């Protein structure tokens, strides 16, 4: 029995968890040292979507975060900036203004984030609000309830409709991998999102306990690779949540490098959704440059 009633999505691709974990243990055993580490750390900085998605977000909180984005660590002002600020639609205008012509994008979550439990009309309005306020990128959530009910058509069509509404803004599709089941389902959801028009696929909202992991990201990167091989079209990847150390971030780069190749090793095609990663990366960069670790108090928190 075919799981897909439409021909746009490739047939179900099985994933073997044991094999994925084997692959990841090889990735984690790569030893990233010296210049490779330094290049990697700077690359990580440029790939961060600095994020605040709280009920308690205020205009000033968002402005402060935007200041951090443009002044990551003043003693090393030559360091690159992060890729984007990620906020709720209501905060997009504030962020846009605060970031000015820094080159840093504003990404907005939309589509009844984080649960996605609303109608398509409301979701489209949510997207419109974000775009009207100037969002450069839209991070949507898929309807997990529909996905788990097996209504893949619905999920596909919804993504396609949001993609159309996005216009020039790049669309990241959040699968919320912690809610949709095992690696087989994650592969299936990745294929649906990609074939429905996602520019990026993203693991998580960061709003539930389970967030991005290397095995999950590996499976999603394989979906991207298969699609690229078939169509020549590149799709971006954004693991989000749970990535707070430099060491782990570098392992993600190794995984991308060895799965998709270095074409994907830039912030056009790979992002980290993270709030505390930046300071850890900065701490490591300072360590590489000076030979000493500095306490957390030497790195600004916004």
Partner 1 sequence: MAKEKKKGIFDYEAAPESTGHVQIKEKYDLFINNKWTKPHSNEYFETINPATEKHISNVARANEKDVDKAVKAARKAFPSWSKLPANERGKYLYRIARIIQEKSREFAVIETMDGGKPIRESRDIDIPLAAAHFFYHAGWADKLEYAFPGRKPKPLGVAGQIIPWNFPLLMAAWKLAPALACGNTVVLKPAETTSLTALKLAEVIQEAGLPDGVVNIITGEGTTGAALVDHPDINKIAFTGSTKVGKAIQRAIAGTNKKATLELGGKAANIVFEDAAINQAVEGIINGIYFNQGHVCCAGSRLFVQESVAEELLWKLKERMNNLIVGDPMDKNTDIGAINSKGQLKTINHYLELGQKEGLEMYQPACDLPKSGYWCKPTLFMNAAQSNQIVQEEIFGPVLAVQTFRTIEEVIQKANNTPFGLSAGVWTDKGSKIFNLTSKMRAGVVWANTYNKFDPTSPFGGYKESGFGREGGIHGLDAYLKFD
| Binders in 132-191 for partner 1, by CB under 8 A | none
Question: Minimum CB separation from partner 1 for residue 69, in Å?
Answer: 24
**85 three-class SS:** strand
Of 13 and 115, nearer to partner 1 (C-beta) is: 13
Tokens of 173: 């599709």
**C-alpha to C-alpha distance for 239 and 24, rounded to whole angstroms:** 15
The catalytic position among 68, 172, 238, 283 is 238
Active-site residue 238, yes or no? yes
Sheet holding 48-51, edge to edge: 236-238, 200-202, 170-174, 137-141, 105-110, 84-87, 48-51, 272-274
Q: How far is the CB of 203 from partner 1 (least distance, A)?
A: 18
Instruction: By CB under 8 A, tell whether 271 contacts partner 1.
Output: no
Half-sphere exposure of residue 286: CA atoms within 13 angstroms, side-chain side: 19
- Clarify whether 8 is annotated catalytic: no
In this structure, what token pair is assigned to residue 116? 């996605």
Contact between residue 45 and residue 281 where contact means Cβ atoms under 8 Å apart: yes
Which candidate in 139, 191, 199, 280 is catalytic? 139
Q: Write down the catalytic residue from 68, 172, 202, 283.
A: 202
Build a one-symbol-per-residue string for 206-225: x at contacts with partner 1 by CB under 8 A, - elsewhere.
Answer: ----------------x---
Distance CA 191, CA 174 (A): 13
Q: Does 2 bind partner 1 (CB under 8 A)?
A: no
Q: How many CB atoms lie within 10 A of CB 225?
A: 15
In whole angstroms, the minimum distance from the beta carbon of 220 to partner 1 comes to 12
- Give the three-class secondary structure for 200: strand
- Whichever of 31 and 77 has its CB closer to partner 1, that residue is 31
59 is catalytic: no
- CB of 10 within 8 A of CB of 2? no
> Which residues from 14-43 bind partner 1, rule CB under 8 A?
14-16, 18-20, 22-23, 26, 29-37, 39-40, 43
Q: Which are the catalytic amino acids?
A: 139, 202, 238
Binding site for partner 1 (CB under 8 A): 13-16, 18-20, 22-23, 26, 29-37, 39-40, 43, 222, 229, 253-254, 257-258, 262, 265
């Amino acid at each position: 029995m075919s799981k897909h009633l439409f021909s746009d999505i490739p047939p179900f691709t099985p994933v073997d968890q044991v094999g994925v974990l084997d692959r990841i243990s090889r990735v984690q055993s790569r030893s990233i040292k010296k210049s490779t580490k330094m290049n990697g750390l700077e690359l990580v900085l440029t790939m961060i979507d600095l994020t605040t998605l709280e009920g308690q977000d205020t205009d000033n909180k968002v402005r402060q975060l935007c200041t951090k984005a443009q002044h990551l660590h003043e003693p090393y002002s030559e360091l690159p900036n992060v890729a984007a600020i990620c906020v709720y639609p209501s905060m997009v205008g504030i962020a846009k203004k605060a970031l000015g012509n820094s080159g840093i994008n504003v990404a907005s979550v939309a589509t009844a984030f984080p649960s996605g439990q609303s109608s398509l009309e409301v979701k489209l309005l949510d997207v419109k609000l974000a775009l009207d306020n100037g969002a450069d990128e839209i991070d949507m959530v898929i309807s997990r309830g529909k996905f788990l009910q097996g209504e893949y058509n619905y999920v596909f069509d919804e993504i396609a409709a949001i993609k159309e509404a996005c216009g020039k803004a790049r669309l990241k599709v959040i699968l919320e991998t912690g809610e949709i089941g095992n690696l087989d389902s994650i592969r299936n959801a990745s294929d649906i999102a990609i074939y429905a028009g996602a520019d990026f696929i993203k693991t998580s909202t960061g709003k539930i306990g389970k967030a991005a992991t290397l095995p999950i990201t590996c499976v999603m990167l394989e979906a991207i690779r298969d699609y690229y091989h078939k169509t020549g079209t590149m799709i971006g990847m954004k693991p989000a949540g749970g990535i707070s150390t430099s060491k782990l971030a570098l392992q993600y780069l190794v995984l991308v490098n060895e799965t998709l190749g270095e074409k994907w090793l830039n912030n056009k095609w790979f992002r980290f959704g993270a709030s505390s990663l930046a300071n850890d990366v900065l701490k490591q960069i300072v360590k590489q440059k000076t030979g000493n670790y500095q306490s957390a108090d030497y790195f600004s928190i916004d």
